[in-house]
Structures are given as structure tokens and as C-alpha cells.
């Protein structure tokens, strides 16, 4: 009986989906949502308070600080992205093209810094490079400041870069490299004359991702910055001091300039022609030899291990200690500071789930529009670009703007503003994952299904979803995880409510009486979520491969 | 069981006209082969009929009903693309049941229908297999079964045998036609293989750059090609540039280069008009010595000899520089003609056709696009 | 230039055996084609010669040098991929000059050889175009030019004309052979198109299920195939099982379904009386007439007659119960028959091939898998 009802409901909706008026309604609705909730609030919010920026312009000290913060944000972002590319490419190559048994191990390890919430990463690095950490044995230590920020940003963008490039190397066809071999080219020559040029879109994408992450990240940077200030740190400090003017100015500048730099690199990158005119077979053959390759791999492993992996997982030591020194009992019983911790976790989780669900519902139609280019070439490009805006803009600036927007609207409770903020930041991840997956399904399959009598919704349910379910799930999991780990926007928006990462940052800054064990354990709990998600993701992907 | 009618159908993609003012009719239960090269518009044609793509101008009538506003899922015309588009996440049975289930048939009925159709294509034993486990020939049969089971009366096949081995193609040709005829379907089968089109089709429609070149039975299209393009695309033809010398009761005489004269039976052109003389390669004969009883005698040197299995093809360069090719069945090749030999070339006037000299030149006219 | 020797090469992918001990010698300067059904191993074989695939066993020699473990880039073998694989980020000029560039030759020094090659292949107008802007034929020619310009003397071609329309293929295949011969190269060309193989090869290799079935000149393999699979795969053939009645040096007499067939070809030298055998005769060698002929003539009824342009394909049922395929070329002087006509067929003695009954059974021996 229940089945019959289900079928009847499904059939009714299926029939509706054939009508072009209904189809238009769904798509237009999704685009309206995109504009009204994702695009406009950040852009308008800032503009409401632009006059406050005047405050800063008349204060030379503040102005100087603001300028310095913006300058350093971009300098750090650009250099870190470049370093990541250079150091990450050999590792990506090894994972994608290598033939050793260790590859899946390295592959997994490379993901770790990506999945750990940046708060955890920041604290871990603080301890690792600090005066009580293992490096101090060598006679020096790196205290909070510019250098530590550079090391941190290098570490957390490294896995992003590697992941993107592994993906590109795996999908793009090996046949071009084989063809080059039949023409007598050595591996090194092939890499620079064939593979890298073909990889260019991927390299640009990876660079921009690392760049965006560096510009945007707040939580960890705050932890390791000390008195140094980049954009996000400055904004947080201004927020803590209650100075809205500087917040607005720096946010505004960051938003505009990041969009500009992005567009510039995107457009220019693809046009840049690197002439490949000469090959030096002798030296290039030597560079392709086993010895050279081993040296290169060795170096990249060294860099990866010492600068990225170990500093990232160093936090496990204090976390282990916390398990045995009584902190665990304190935590589980919700005593003292731990009460607010669990509240914060509950908040983060609920925001994460709600934001993810909304993104799925609102993002699916947009993903279809982009993947199937239903609104023409120009329309699709615009739509795609519009979806990219939330990740281009530094999340803390986004948060500031959103905060202004929704507070000026007045009636929205803080919980919902937090939900909207997290939703805005993670919207793109889901849309892009689904769009890519749908694009991978040949249109012929949908067309044939329709001629067999299947209505659009029926095609969607029986063909598209089953074939994209892995991307669907990974998109959803990534969105959820990203939301849990978000610090910047939450910091900017929240006045009374604190999400878990924000709470932890305040712990690290000793704004609340806590021990190292407390912090380590708290971070460990947060990391646990991410690890579980990562595990589930890996299981899904491996099941797909078999 | 529909009759299909296209009236002035035009479809543009940007500047290019994929379909250009197409008008034709398909009879009930007819097996029509649409013949054309890549880019001729044949896939767009199928997609217009299926409803996947809407024509910019003109109408498609199915059973005398204007179908422009009917969505694809309601047209009862199944589209089978060249890649078959079998659903990879469903096994053979589920693939075949998809059509009936989409049309709200009860599950048990759908399964019955599917198994019945699978028996027809001899794949009932592989109902549990997944598409990736099947060979190309089997996948093709599943795609057909899926179309049949959906209850559609019009089948639109896009190069159904294109992805298969040459040998398999020959075997499956007759099976395909038999299946369609036994199920009482109307079929539009698109291909670039003219031998395939002639063997399978009740009628052939030749398409070039979206325009209809000729529409008729295989016999008709082969023996009375209305355009130079058709004469070249279907079968193998020699073309000679000539000028009409004079006309008489039986037809006339045309002049090739160097004043070589050829008798023809066509008197529809004026003297001094530029024409093209077309003769099929199998109707062109070569002999070591001139045969006095033949009306058209040309001679030349054999420049190429190619063994092609059941026949041998000789390319002869005539005294005036023109080239002709002649095909001789292998078992008639007792004359031992070799490359470099001097031979006599002749053909019967009744085997030649005259065409108006194409304004853009012969080469351009022979090109597919 | 080089001579290639393949000795006992084996290759498996998991449970699937791609090459099952292949032995082949390719002569210096030879144009060799390899044909066979899908999955027969022909592509795996040339990939092994190129080094793209590493054999599990056996050796490969190029001009007496063992290259089996040499990496691809050191073998000096030009390869044209089925997927064409032109570098998408380079234009035609850069693609073609790639082979020279990787040898360290300066842009200036590269100009002459590259431009010569482009001129030979008629690609001068396309130099600054990118692969995605080219037609199928132009892309194919560019891929071939690229392989040739790298200076290799051995050319391996994997379905080089596969992506092209029939008409373009038939012209390009001769151009390709001419180029190879003019340059004095050794070429190995893999194809599934038999007519292509027959028309351009010095020798043809027939493969099935990872093994070489037969190697020979085109006309040998077509007229006097030693193996029954060759008779089936190259061209078309009717297969008739029977029993040997009489056997002399010049003639074999076989009883088939009560009738007698005589052949004067001695394909299988050591067949004995009363042994089971299989005879093969190609459809184009069977004659149909209203009157019985002298030898090997059976009464029959026409089951179907299809017009295929230059020939009629008949299916006839002989009075002794056998169904045969007959192909009669249309040259204008014969009568055509219709379904139901009662006529006579005859098979000339010198076109009937006789084979020993295959151990694995006729069906398996002839299957394409």
C-alpha cells in the first residue's frame, strides 16, 4: 500500500516535470535563491556601512596598519601558492604516475592536512615550531609572527594543490605522453613540453585555490600570528576592539582586490604562451634518469614530511597526554569550560547539517544548468562565475559583510545568520562537485531515456542520481566538513553564539582559563569529525573503483 | 503506427544550417535508410524527429499531427544513438524494462514484455548481465530490445552498426531488418555506408549538408542518380569533363579533352554546353585490343592495378590525360592486364549519364561537405 | 628500412590472453597489414613492437638488435595511434616538428625537413591550425606526418584511417602506401577493413585469438587460403561439409547431401577417402543460369534477391537441402532472378577449396572470437 502511494506521488511529480512552465519555475527559483541569499547579501552588506570606512581614512596610524595588513595578505598568498606548486608537483607526479606499493599510503597521508580543521593545524604548528616543541632541540624555535604564518599557509594549502594536480594527471590521457615517447622524447622532456602545458588549467586552478585559502583563512592564522597582522587577523582584532570602520575598509578592499586578482590570473594564465622551442636531449635524458628521479622524490618527501605532515599531526602528542591526565574525564562530564565546548560542538553540527541540506536543495538545479549549459554559453559562464564568488572572497570579509546585511534587516536571529554565512561559503563546493559529475554523464543517455518515454524528473531520479551518487555524497560530505571547520566568517558574524572552531581559538588565545591538555583534547574532538568524514569519503571512493 | 512527414524543416546551429528545407515522407512500416557523410545533418535529423531538438523552421508531422509542441517523452519515437547509451548501472533486464516502467506499466507486465523481447534478440539468457560485460554486438541488440519493449512504433537508429567489426556488421544487417519487419516497426536508419543502405533499406534518402539530394528505392538511386554527388556517393563512378558536340535522334555526341568523341543517349543539353559524363566503374570495360563492335572506344595506359578481392580495379590514363577506373570480376580476369599495358577502354552509351557542369567545379561537387 | 623479427611473443591481461606466442618476420621495406576480428591481438602486437606494451614472454628484434627491454623512446619506431593523439596545445607545424625537436635540432634546422613533409602531404595550408580546428582527414595526415618526420624508418599504424568516411579512406589509403614506398620505409598497418588490406599490402597477416592464422600475398590469401578461417575472414564464403569419395592428384570428389562436388584445387594434401571435409566457395564464383551446366551443377530455388548496386545478392536453396549465398555482378548482359524462380547453380572446379574438418568443429573454427 505504501509502495503504491509512493509510486503515485512520484508519477504525479514526473508528469509535472514534463511541463515547461514547471521546469522554468524550478530553475528560476534556484537562480533567485543564488542571487538573493548567496550573492547579494555579501555585496550589499558592506555597501551599507561604507561610510564607516571614512573613520579609518582620517586616522593615519590605523590606516597604516590596514594598508600593511592588506599588503601582507596578498604577498603571503601569492608566494605560498607559488611554493606549494613547486614543491607539490613532484609529489603529485609520484602519486599519479608512480608504480610503487607505497603510493596509496602517501596518497592518504597527503590528504591529512587538508582534512584537519585549520584551528587544529594552527595550534599544532604553534607547538611544533615553538620553544617547547621538537624543533627547539636543534637550537632554535619559531615564535608567532610572519615566518610561522608562512609555514602554516604553506602547510595547509599543500594538500589542496597536490589533490588537484593528482586529479588532473589521472584524468588527462596518458596517450599524449606515449605518443611523445614514440617520437623519441625522454620523460623529462615530455613533462615539460607535453604534460605541463596540458596541465595548465589544473595548475592555474591549484594556484588560485591555494591563493584563495591563504587570503581567507582566519582561525589558525590568528593563533600563529602573534602581533603580526594580515587581513583576516586585522579584521578579527578590529572586531574584538569593536572598531567597525577598519573592519569595513579592509573587508571591502580584500573583496574587490581578490576578485580582481582572480579574474586577472584566470584570464591571463590561459593566454600565456610559454614557447617550447628547444630541447637539450643530453641533459634532459640525465634528468630523466633513475638517479635524478630518486633525488627529486627524496627531496619532495623530505619537504612534505618535515614542513607539512609532521607539524600537522604533532598535536596528537598533547592530545594523547590529555587522555591520561584526567582531562578526558573533565571533558566528558561537561565541567567548567567544557560545558560551553559541547554547546559549541552542538551548534557547529546543527549549522553544518542545515547549511548542507539547504545547499543540496538549492544547488542541484544550478548544477544542472551549468553542466548542461541550458542557458547558453554566455549565460553558463556568468552563472559559473557567480557561483565562484563566495570562495574567491576571503571568508572573514564575507562574514563581516553578511553580518552587516542581516543585522540591518533586523529580524533574523543570530543562529540563522550563522547558518546563512556557512551556507554561503560552502555553496560552491556542492554545486561544482555535482556539475562536474553531471557533465560526465553523456547527454545522449538522458536523450535516449526521454525518447523511451521517461519524463524529466523520472530521468533525474533513475539515471542522473544513481550515476552521480558518489559525487553527490562526496560533495555533501565536503560541504559539511568545510562548514564545521569554518572560523573566519563565524568570527565576524557571531556576537553571542560561538561555533566550535571559534571557541577553540579563544581557548588558544587564553581568553578563557584552560590548560594545554584542554586545548589539545578539544581540538582532538573536532578533528575526530573530520577524520570520520574523510574515512567515509575514502570508503565511498574505493567502492566506486571496484 | 505512424506515417512521418517533414515539411520544410530547417535547423541552424549558429551560422551553419544542419538541416536545410527538408521535405519528405516516410510510409507506415517502411525501413528508410538515410545516407550521408559526417556533418551531413543525419544525426540532427533523427534528433528533430525524436523531439530532442526543435526545428527553427518547418514542421514534423507524426500521423498527420503537428509534433513540434509534443515533448520527446510523448512522441513514441525511440532514439538509439551510435553509442547505444545503455544505462551502465542497470543490468540488461532493467535496461529493457526502463521504457515500459517509465510509461507506468505494472512491474510484472513490464518484466514479461522485456523477457519476450529479449528472447526475440536471443539475449534472454544474459538478462542479469551488465552492459560492460557484453560484446559490441550484444550491446547493440540490447539497445534494440530496449527500443522494441518501450512499445514505440518508430525506431530512429544512428549508425547502429558503425561501432562493430566489419564482419559482424554484415551478419547483423539482415537480422536488424528482419527484426524490424517482424515487429511491424517503421525505422529510420542513418548510415554513411552506402552498401549497408542499399542492402537494408526499402528506400534511401541521400543527405548532403542538410539538403535532400535524392529519395527513392535502392535500384532507383543507384541506376538513376539525379545529381553528381549521388552518383559519386553511392557506388563508384567515373566522371569526365566534356562539351556537347551535337545532338541527334538517338542522343548525341560529346567531346572530351583533345577532341575525343563519346556517344551518349542524352539529348537534353545544348551544343557547346559544358557537361559531365558519368559511367559506373563496373560498367567500364578494358580490353588489351580494341573491340571494333563498341561505339565508344578510348585508349590509354594502365597506371594502377589493384586487387580488391572479388574484383580487380584498373586505373587507366587516357591519351588526353583523363583518368578512368574499370572494375572487372576476378574470374573474368583472364587477360592478364598489368600496370604499364596499353588498353582499350569502352562503355555502352546506355550506361552513361550526362549532368550539367557544376558551377563550383567538379571537385567541389564531389566533396561531401 | 629495417627488418623486424617477432619471436614467441606472449602477453596476457589477467585471465585474457592477448598474444599467445606470435612469430613473425617483417621484411625490409615491406608494407604489411594485419587483419583480424576485435580482440585478436593485432593492436597488442604492434604495441609490443613499439614498446608501448611489454610482453610477458618472447623477444623482438629490429635489424638483429634485441629491443624487447628497450624503452619506447630508444626504439626509433614511428607510431600512428588509432586515437590520432595529436598534441592539442600545439599547431600542425609544431606537432609535425616535435620528433626533430626532441633530438635537439634547432628551429632553423628543422624548417626544411618539416616543410618538405608538409608539402608532400598537402598540409601547407594548415600549418598554424590546431588539432581541434582540423577535419578528420587533415588530422590523420598530420599524425602520419608527425610519425614520419621523426626520422624513423619503421612505421607502425593502428587503424590509421579508421576515423574517416569511406570515400575519403579509399583515396587516402593509396596515398599512404605511395608515401611509404617513396620513402623506402617498412610499414606495419593494422586494420579491420579487408578491402583496405587487400588493396595496399605486400603481404597480409591474419590473426585470431592471439595467434597468427596465416600470412601471404593478398591474391594468395583470397584465392587459395590455406586456413579455413582465412577463407571466412577475408571476403565472403559458403561452407559445405561433406565426405571424400575419391581423391587423385588432380581432383577431389566429395559427397554432399547426396550430390557430388568436384574440385581440382588440392588445398589439403593428406585427406583420405571417407574422411570428413569442409569445402569453401566464394559467392561471386557461383554461377546461376536457367539451364544446368556440365559440372558441379545443382537445381535450386531462389529464396531472396537483393540489389546492391553493382551486383545482385541471392540466397538459393539447392534441391539437396543446402542454402548458399550467391553474388552476381551486374554488367548489363545477364538476367536477374526473382524469389521463387527455379534455376540451376554451378560451381567451377577451380574455385572450390577443400579443407579438413576442423577439430574444434566448424562453427568454433569460423567464429570471430
Give C306's pLDDT tier (boundaries 50, 70, 90): confident
User: Which pLDDT band holds residue C46 (cuts at 50, 70, 90)?
Assistant: very high
Q: Provide the grid cell at A295.
A: 633525488
Q: Is pLDDT of C229 > 80?
A: yes
Q: How confident is the model at residue B291 (pLDDT cuts 50, 70, 90)?
A: low
Distances (CA, A) of A235 to A69, A126, A247, A254: 9, 21, 5, 11
The pLDDT of residue C334: 66
Q: How confident is the model at residue A327 (pLDDT cuts 50, 70, 90)?
A: confident
Cell triple for B181 = 519487419
* pLDDT tier at A271, thresholds 50, 70, 90: confident
Distance in angstroms (rounded) separating the CA atoms of residues C330 and C311: 5
% of chain B at pLDDT higher than 70: 96
- What is the DSSP-derived secondary structure letter of residue A191? I
Query: Which of C285, C308, C329 is the closest to B195 by Cβ?
Result: C308
Chain B neighbors of C314, CB-CB under 8 A = none
Nearest to A281 among C52, C88, C103 (CB): C103
B296 close to B304: Cβ distance less than 8 angstroms: no
How would residue A541 be classed by pLDDT, with cut points 50, 70 and 90? low
Phi, psi (rounded to 5 degrees) for B252: 160, -170
| Closest chain B C-alpha to A532 CA, distance in angstroms | 28
> Could you give the 3-state DSSP secondary structure of residue A175?
helix
Residue A370 per-residue DSSP state: H
- What is the DSSP-derived secondary structure letter of residue C17? E
Q: What does CATH list as the number for A315-433+473-546? A: 1.10.3720.10
Do residue B147 and residue B240 come from a single domain? no
Residues B246 and B130 both lie in one domain: no
Same domain, B84 and B179: yes
Q: What is the mean pLDDT of residues A168-184?
A: 87
B156 and A451 in contact by Cβ < 8 A? yes
Are B84 and B111 contacting, i.e. CB atoms less than 8 angstroms apart?
no
Q: What pLDDT does B2 receive?
A: 52
Rounded mean pLDDT of A482-489? 86
B102-114: string of b/e by CB count within 10 Å (b at 16+)?
Answer: bbebeeeebbebb
Question: Measured between CB atoms, which of B80, B87, B104 is closest to A11?
Answer: B104
- Asked if C101 and A278 come within 8 Å (Cβ–Cβ), the reply is yes
CB neighbourhood size of B268 (10 A): 12
What pLDDT score does B1 carry? 46
Of A184, A200, A278, the CB nearest to C106: A278
Q: Which residues of C touch B236 (CB under 8 A)?
A: 310
What domain range includes position B240?
236-366
Closest C-alpha among A395, A359, A414 to residue A212:
A395
- C106 reaches A (C-beta below 8 A): yes
Domain edges within chain C: 4-223, 236-359
Q: Are residues B172 and B286 in the same domain?
A: no
Task: Say how far apart CA C141 and CA C121 lie, in whole Å.
Answer: 7
Minimum mean pLDDT range among A112-121, A173-182, B107-116: A112-121
A185 vs C51, C85, C102: nearest CB: C102
Provide φ and ψ at A466, rounded to 5°. Answer: -60, -35
Whole-number Å distance between alpha carbons of A18 and A214 = 46
Number of domains in chain B: 2
Specify the pLDDT at position A240: 81
Q: Give the pTM.
A: 0.84
Same-domain status, B326 and B221: no
Question: Would an 8 Å CB–CB cutoff place C66 in contact with chain A?
Answer: no
Report chain C's mean pLDDT, rounded to a whole number. 89
Q: Which of C80, C87, C227, C234 is nearest to C162 (CA)?
A: C80
Q: Render B223-289 in DSSP notation, one character per residue.
A: HS-SSHHHHHHSS-EEEEEEEEEEE-SS-EEEE-GGG-EEEES---S-TT-EEEEEEEGGG-EEESS
Share of chain C above pLDDT 90, in %: 47
Judge if A51-314 and A315-433+473-546 fold alike in CATH terms: yes
Topology classification of domain A51-314: MetI-like fold (1.10.3720)
**Quick one: pLDDT band at residue A198, thresholds 50, 70, 90?**
confident
Cell numbers 589544473 correspond to what residue? Answer: A202
Please say if the pLDDT value at position C48 is more than 50. Answer: yes
Give A440-457 pLDDT, tens digit per residue: 888 899 999 999 998 888
A178: chain C residues, CB-CB within 8 Å: 52, 72, 81, 85
Handedness of CA B184, B187, B193, B198 (dihedral sign): positive
User: According to the model, what pLDDT value does residue A103 have?
Assistant: 77
Q: Which of A103-107, B101-105, B225-229, C90-94 has the lowest mean pLDDT?
A: A103-107
Nearest to A41 by CA among A325, A517, A403, A290: A403
Residue A519 has pLDDT above 60, yes or no: yes
Q: With cut-offs at 50, 70 and 90, classify the pLDDT of residue A130.
A: confident
| Three cell numbers written together for A531 | 577524520
Q: What is the per-residue pLDDT across A405-444, written as a single tens digit (0 to 9) for each? A: 888 877 788 888 889 889 988 898 888 888 888 888 888 9
C50 neighbourhood in chain A, CB within 8 Å: 182
What CATH fold (topology level) applies to the domain C236-359? OB fold (Dihydrolipoamide Acetyltransferase, E2P) (2.40.50)
State the Cα–Cα distance between residues C45 and C216, nearest whole angstrom: 18
Which residues have CB under 8 Å from B212's CB, separation 6+?
Answer: B22, B23, B24, B205, B206
For residue A390, the SS3 value is: helix
Q: Any residues with CB less than 8 A from the CB of C204 and at least 6 apart, and which?
A: C32, C33, C34, C35, C197, C198, C215, C216, C217, C218, C221, C234
Q: Of A359, A40, A388, give the one whose Cα is nearest residue A208.
A: A388
Closest CA to A17 of A444, A461, A467: A461
- Taking the C-alpha atoms of residue C196 and residue C159, their distance in angstroms, rounded to an integer, is 10
Q: Is C316 helix (H, G, I), strand (E, B) or coil?
A: strand
Round to whole Å and give the CA distance between C281 and C353. 6
Query: Which strands make up the sheet holding C211-216, listed edge to edge?
Result: C77-80, C154-158, C186-190, C31-35, C203-208, C211-216
Mean pLDDT of A66-94: 91
Chain B hits for A463, CB-CB cut-off 8 Å, are 87
Q: How far is A505 from chain C (nearest CA, A)?
A: 48
To test the contact with chain B by mutation, choose from C159, C309, C325, C346 the residue with the greatest count of B C-beta atoms within 10 A, namely C309
CB spacing of A194 vs C87 below 8 angstroms: yes
How far from C80 is each of A308, A354, B88, C50, C188, CA to CA, in Å? 44, 55, 31, 11, 10
Whole-number average pLDDT of chain B: 88
User: Could you tell me the CA-to-CA distances from B271 to A149, B268, B277, B353 in Å, in that order?
Assistant: 92, 10, 15, 16
CA B113 to chain A, closest CA, distance in angstroms equals: 14
> What pLDDT does A318 receive?
82
Q: What residue segments make up the domains of chain A, in order of their start?
A: 51-314, 315-433+473-546
Question: C-alpha cell of C240?
Answer: 559445405
- In angstroms and rounded to an integer, the radius of gyration of the C-alpha atoms of chain A is 25
Local structure of C242: helix, strand or coil: strand
Residue A204 parent element (H or E):
helix A196-216
C337, C343 contact by CB (below 8 A): yes
pLDDT at A266 over 80: no
Region label for A145, one of left (φ > 0), alpha (ψ between -120 and 50) or beta (otherwise): left
Superfamily of domain C4-223: P-loop containing nucleotide triphosphate hydrolases (3.40.50.300)
Give residues with Cβ within 8 angstroms of C212, minimum separation 6.
C22, C23, C24, C205, C206
The pLDDT confidence band at residue B292, using thresholds 50, 70 and 90, is: low
Confidence of residue A1 (pLDDT cuts 50, 70, 90): low
Note which residues in 130-149 of chain C have CB less than 8 A from chain A.
Answer: 146-147
Whether B226 and B271 share a structural domain: no
Per-residue pLDDT, averaged over A186-192, amounts to 90
Higher pLDDT: C345 or B165? It is C345
Residue C230: pLDDT band by 50, 70, 90 thresholds?
very high
Q: How close does chain A come to C246, measured CA to CA in Å?
A: 57
Q: What is the ipTM of this complex?
A: 0.85
Is the torsion defined by CA of C107, C110, C116, C118 positive or negative? negative
Amino acid at each position: 500500500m505504501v509502495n503504491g502511494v509512493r509510486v503515485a506521488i512520484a508519477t504525479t511529480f514526473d508528469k509535472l516535470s514534463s511541463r515547461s512552465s514547471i521546469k522554468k519555475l524550478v530553475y528560476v527559483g534556484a537562480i533567485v535563491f543564488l542571487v538573493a541569499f548567496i550573492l547579494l547579501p555579501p555585496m550589499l552588506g558592506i555597501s551599507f556601512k561604507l561610510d564607516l570606512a571614512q573613520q579609518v581614512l582620517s586616522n593615519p596610524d590605523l590606516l597604516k596598519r590596514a594598508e600593511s595588513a592588506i599588503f601582507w595578505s596578498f604577498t603571503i598568498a601569492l608566494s605560498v601558492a607559488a611554493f606549494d606548486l613547486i614543491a607539490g608537483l613532484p609529489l603529485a607526479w609520484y602519486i599519479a604516475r608512480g608504480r610503487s606499493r607505497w603510493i596509496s599510503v602517501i596518497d592518504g597521508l597527503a590528504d591529512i592536512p587538508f582534512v584537519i580543521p585549520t584551528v587544529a593545524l594552527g595550534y599544532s604548528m604553534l607547538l611544533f615550531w615553538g620553544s617547547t616543541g621538537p624543533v627547539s632541540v636543534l637550537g632554535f624555535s619559531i615564535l608567532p609572527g610572519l615566518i610561522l604564518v608562512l609555514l602554516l599557509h604553506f602547510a595547509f594549502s599543500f594538500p589542496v594543490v597536490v589533490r588537484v594536480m593528482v586529479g588532473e594527471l589521472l584524468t588527462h590521457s596518458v596517450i599524449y605522453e606515449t605518443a611523445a615517447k614514440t617520437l623519441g622524447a625522454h620523460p623529462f622532456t615530455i613533462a615539460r613540453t607535453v604534460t605541463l602545458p596540458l596541465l595548465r588549467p589544473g595548475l592555474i586552478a591549484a594556484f588560485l585555490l591555494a591563493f584563495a585559502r591563504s587570503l581567507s583563512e582566519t582561525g589558525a592564522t590568528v593563533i600563529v600570528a602573534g602581533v603580526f597582522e594580515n587581513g583576516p587577523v586585522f579584521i578579527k582584532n578590529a572586531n574584538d576592539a569593536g572598531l567597525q570602520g577598519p573592519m569595513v575598509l579592509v573587508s571591502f578592499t580584500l573583496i574587490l582586490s581578490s576578485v580582481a586578482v582572480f579574474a586577472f590570473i584566470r584570464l591571463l594564465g590561459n593566454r600565456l604562451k610559454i614557447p617550447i622551442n628547444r630541447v637539450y636531449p643530453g641533459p634532459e635524458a640525465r634528468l630523466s634518469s633513475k638517479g635524478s628521479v630518486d633525488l627529486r622524490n627524496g627531496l619532495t618527501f623530505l619537504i612534505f614530511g618535515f614542513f607539512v605532515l609532521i607539524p600537522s599531526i604533532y598535536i596528537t602528542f598533547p592530545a594523547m597526554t590529555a587522555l591520561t591526565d584526567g582531562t578526558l574525564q573533565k571533558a566528558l562530564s561537561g565541567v567548567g569550560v567544557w560545558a560551553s565546548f559541547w554547546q559549541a560542538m552542538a551548534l557547529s553540527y546543527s549549522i553544518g547539517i542545515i547549511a548542507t541540506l539547504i545547499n543540496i536543495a538549492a544547488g542541484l538545479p544550478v548544477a544542472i544548468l551549468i553542466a548542461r549549459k541550458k542557458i547558453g554559453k554566455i549565460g553558463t559562464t556568468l552563472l559559473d562565475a557567480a557561483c565562484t564568488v563566495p570562495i574567491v572572497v576571503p571568508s572573514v570579509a564575507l562574514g563581516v559583510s553578511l553580518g552587516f546585511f542581516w543585522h540591518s534587516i533586523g529580524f533574523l536571529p543570530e543562529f540563522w545568520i550563522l547558518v546563512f554565512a556557512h551556507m554561503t561559503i560552502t555553496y560552491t563546493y556542492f554545486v561544482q562537485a555535482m556539475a562536474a559529475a553531471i557533465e560526465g554523464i553523456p547527454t545522449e543517455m538522458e536523450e535516449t531515456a526521454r525518447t523511451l518515454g521517461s519524463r524529466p524528473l523520472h530521468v533525474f531520479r533513475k539515471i542522473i542520481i544513481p550515476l552521480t551518487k558518489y559525487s553527490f555524497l562526496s560533495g555533501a560530505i565536503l560541504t559539511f566538513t568545510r562548514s564545521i571547520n569554518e572560523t573566519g566568517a563565524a568570527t565576524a558574524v557571531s556576537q553571542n553564539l560561538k561555533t566550535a572552531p571559534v571557541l577553540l581559538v579563544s581557548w588558544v588565545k587564553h581568553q578563557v582559563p584552560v590548560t594545554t591538555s584542554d586545548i589539545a583534547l578539544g581540538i582532538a574532538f573536532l578533528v575526530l569529525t573530520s577524520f570520520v568524514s574523510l574515512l567515509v569519503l575514502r570508503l565511498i571512493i574505493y567502492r566506486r573503483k571496484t | 503506427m505512424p506515417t512521418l512527414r517533414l515539411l520544410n524543416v530547417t535547423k541552424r546551429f549558429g551560422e551553419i544550417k544542419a538541416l536545410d528545407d527538408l521535405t519528405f515522407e516516410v510510409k507506415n512500416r517502411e525501413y528508410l535508410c538515410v545516407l550521408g557523410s559526417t556533418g551531413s545533418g543525419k544525426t540532427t535529423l533523427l534528433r528533430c524527429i525524436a523531439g530532442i531538438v526543435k526545428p527553427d523552421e518547418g514542421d514534423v508531422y507524426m500521423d498527420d499531427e503537428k509534433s513540434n509542441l509534443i515533448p520527446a517523452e510523448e512522441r513514441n519515437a525511440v532514439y538509439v544513438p551510435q553509442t547505444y547509451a545503455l544505462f551502465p548501472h542497470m543490468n540488461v533486464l532493467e535496461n529493457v524494462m526502463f521504457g515500459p516502467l517509465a510509461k507506468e506499466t505494472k512491474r510484472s507486465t513490464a518484466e514479461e514484455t522485456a523477457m519476450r523481447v529479449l528472447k526475440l534478440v536471443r539475449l534472454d539468457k544474459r538478462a542479469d548481465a551488465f552492459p560492460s560485460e557484453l560484446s559490441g554486438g550484444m550491446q547493440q541488440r540490447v539497445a534494440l530490445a530496449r527500443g522494441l519493449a518501450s512499445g514505440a512504433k518508430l525506431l530512429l537508429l544512428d549508425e547502429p552498426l558503425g561501432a562493430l567489426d566489419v564482419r559482424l556488421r554484415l551478419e547483423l544487417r539482415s537480422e536488424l531488418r528482419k527484426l524490424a519487419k517482424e515487429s511491424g516497426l517503421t525505422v529510420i536508419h542513418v548510415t554513411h555506408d552506402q552498401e549497408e543502405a542499399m542492402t537494408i533499406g526499402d528506400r534511401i534518402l541521400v543527405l548532403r549538408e542538410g539538403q535532400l539530394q535524392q529519395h527513392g528505392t535502392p535500384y532507383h538511386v543507384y541506376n538513376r542518380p539525379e545529381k553528381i554527388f549521388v552518383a559519386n556517393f553511392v557506388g563508384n563512378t567515373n566522371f569526365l569533363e566534356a562539351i556537347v558536340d551535337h545532338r541527334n535522334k538517338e542522343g548525341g555526341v560529346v567531346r572530351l579533352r583533345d577532341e575525343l568523341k563519346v556517344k551518349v543517349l542524352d539529348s537534353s543539353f545544348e551544343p557547346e554546353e559544358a557537361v559531365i559524363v558519368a559511367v559506373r566503374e563496373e560498367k567500364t570495360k578494358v580490353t588489351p585490343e580494341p573491340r571494333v563492335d563498341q561505339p565508344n572506344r578510348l585508349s590509354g595506359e594502365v597506371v594502377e592495378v589493384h586487387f580488391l578481392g572479388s574484383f580487380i580495379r584498373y586505373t587507366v590514363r587516357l591519351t588526353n590525360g583523363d583518368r578512368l577506373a574499370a572494375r572487372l570480376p576476378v574470374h573474368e580476369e583472364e587477360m592478364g592486364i598489368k600496370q604499364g599495358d596499353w588498353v582499350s577502354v569502352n562503355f555502352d552509351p546506355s550506361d552513361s549519364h550526362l549532368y550539367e557542369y557544376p558551377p563550383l567545379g567538379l571537385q567541389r561537387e564531389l566533396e561531401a561537405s | 628500412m629495417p627488418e623486424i623479427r617477432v619471436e614467441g611473443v606472449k602477453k596476457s591481461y589477467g585471465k585474457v590472453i592477448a598474444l599467445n606466442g606470435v612469430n613473425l618476420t617483417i621484411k625490409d621495406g615491406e608494407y604489411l597489414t594485419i587483419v583480424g576480428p576485435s580482440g585478436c591481438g593485432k593492436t597488442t602486437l604492434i604495441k609490443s613492437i613499439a614498446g608501448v606494451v611489454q610482453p610477458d614472454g618472447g623477444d623482438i628484434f629490429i635489424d638483429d638488435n634485441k629491443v624487447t627491454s628497450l624503452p619506447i623512446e630508444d626504439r626509433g619506431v614511428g607510431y600512428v595511434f588509432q586515437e590520432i593523439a595529436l598534441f592539442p596545445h600545439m599547431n600542425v607545424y609544431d606537432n609535425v616538428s616535435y620528433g626533430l625537436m626532441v633530438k635537439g635540432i634547432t628551429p632553423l634546422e628543422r624548417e626544411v625537413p618539416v616543410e618538405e613533409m608538409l608539402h608532400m602531404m598537402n598540409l601547407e595550408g594548415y600549418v598554424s591550425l590546431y588539432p581541434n580546428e582540423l577535419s578528420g582527414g587533415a588530422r590523420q595526415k598530420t599524425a602520419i606526418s608527425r610519425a614520419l618526420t621523426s626520422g624513423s624508418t619503421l612505421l607502425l599504424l593502428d587503424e590509421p584511417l579508421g576515423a574517416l568516411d569511406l570515400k575519403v579512406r579509399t583515396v587516402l589509403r593509396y596515398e599512404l602506401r605511395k608515401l611509404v614506398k617513396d620513402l623506402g620505409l617498412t610499414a606495419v598497418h593494422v586494420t579491420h577493413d579487408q578491402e583496405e588490406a587487400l588493396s595496399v599490402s605486400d603481404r597480409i597477416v591474419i590473426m585470431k585469438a592471439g595467434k597468427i592464422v596465416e600470412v601471404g600475398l593478398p591474391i594468395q590469401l583470397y584465392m587459395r587460403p590455406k586456413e579455413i578461417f582465412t577463407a571466412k575472414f577475408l571476403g565472403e564464403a559458403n561452407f559445405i561439409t561433406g565426405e571424400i569419395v575419391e581423391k587423385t592428384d588432380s581432383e577431389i570428389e566429395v559427397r554432399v547431401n547426396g550430390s557430388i562436388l568436384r574440385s581440382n584445387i588440392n588445398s589439403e594434401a593428406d585427406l583420405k577417402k571417407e574422411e570428413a571435409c569442409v569445402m569453401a566457395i566464394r559467392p561471386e564464383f557461383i554461377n546461376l543460369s536457367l539451364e544446368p551446366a556440365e559440372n558441379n551443377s545443382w537445381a535450386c530455388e531462389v529464396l531472396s534477391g537483393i540489389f546492391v548496386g553493382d551486383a545482385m545478392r541471392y540466397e538459393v536453396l539447392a534441391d539437396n537441402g543446402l542454402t548458399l549465398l550467391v553474388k552476381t555482378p551486374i554488367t548489363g548482359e545477364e538476367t536477374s532472378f526473382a524469389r521463387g524462380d527455379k534455376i540451376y547453380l554451378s560451381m567451377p572446379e577451380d574455385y572450390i577449396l577443400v579443407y579438413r574438418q576442423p577439430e574444434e568443429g566448424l562453427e568454433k573454427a569460423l567464429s570471430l572470437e
